[in-house]
Amino acid sequence: MAKENTDLRTGTLYVVATPIGNLEDLTYRAVRILREAGTIACEDTRQTLKLLTKFDIHARLISYFQPREGQKMPLLIGLLRQGKDVALVSDSGTPGISDPGFRLIREAIRAGIKVVPIPGPSALVAAVSASGLPTHRFVFVGFPPPKREKTRRLLRSLEGEEGTLAFYVPTRKLGEFLGLAEEAFGDREAVIARELTKVHEEFLRGSIGELREKVESLKLRGEATVLIAGAGRTKKSFETS
């Protein structure tokens, strides 16, 4: 049982952030919690097993992924009610942030179970912090809708937002997404952050139109974090003197 659990009646649900690329980003505290928790709820057991092997962690793995979260919820809540600790992880980053986890966390709270965050890596925070765009206010929108028209309506609804806008976008859809963004916002300044913490980490900066032209000539894989300046911002922030 994890040492931080002071409730003798139920276990604790630990929400553990895991590396988004570089395995050295796993915190000492996260390593300890993963070792001490009897069960780890994860998205893809194969992906999580790579991390556990790296740090010589041995635990029971239970797959917990969308859209089958509801099927595993009774089992996990049952373990917690029996006094057993559960560590919740996603394939990378912080659980619940455009990843599975919200439903289990909410159900645990409703059941009176203690929920403890173990903070750490997040693609969103990493991208915003190094983007060069204003950080005093930003709005995390997550993944845009899969259908083009719904994405268009979403972007238009954000036209007046003054904070930096943050999206997760599959790289295969970057060109289409930036085209719709330029249509909704005009040619604002923007940033594409990809492969964060990995060998080929890259920040692409410029106007929305410039970035759209650039990505259309590139063959990219995976997902990217796209940041767009809020209303009233010019596209001059990245110009050099």
The model's pLDDT over 123-177, given as tens digits with 9 standing for 90+, comes to 999 999 999 999 999 999 999 999 999 999 999 999 999 999 999 999 999 999 9
In angstroms, the CA 9 to CA 75 distance is 17
Residues 21-73: tens digit of each pLDDT: 999 999 999 999 999 998 999 999 999 999 999 999 999 999 998 777 888 99
Collapsed DSSP state (helix, strand, coil) of residue 130: helix
In angstroms, the CA 220 to CA 19 distance is 21
Collapsed DSSP state (helix, strand, coil) of residue 179: helix
Question: Is residue 171, in this structure, part of any structural domain at all?
Answer: yes
153 and 95 within one domain: no
Q: Which domain holds residue 23?
A: 12-118
Question: Is residue 4, in this structure, part of any structural domain at all?
Answer: no
Domain stops at, among 103, 118, 133: 118
Domain stops at, among 94, 118, 142: 118
Can you tell me the mean pLDDT for 110-129? 97
Radius of gyration (Cα) for the chain, nearest Å?
20
Question: Is residue 108, in this structure, part of any structural domain at all?
Answer: yes
Question: Is residue 196, in this structure, part of any structural domain at all?
Answer: yes
130 and 114 within one domain: no
How much is the pTM? 0.89
Q: Three-state SS across 72-110?
A: HHHHHHHHHHCCCCEEECCCCECCCCCCCCHHHHHHHHH
- Structural domain total, the chain: 2
Question: Is residue 91, in this structure, part of any structural domain at all?
Answer: yes
Which CATH number covers residue 213?
Answer: 3.30.950.10
Domain stops at, among 118, 153, 176: 118
The per-residue pLDDT for 67 is: 78
214 and 127 within one domain: yes
In angstroms, the CA 203 to CA 33 distance is 33
173 and 113 within one domain: no
Question: Is residue 32, in this structure, part of any structural domain at all?
Answer: yes
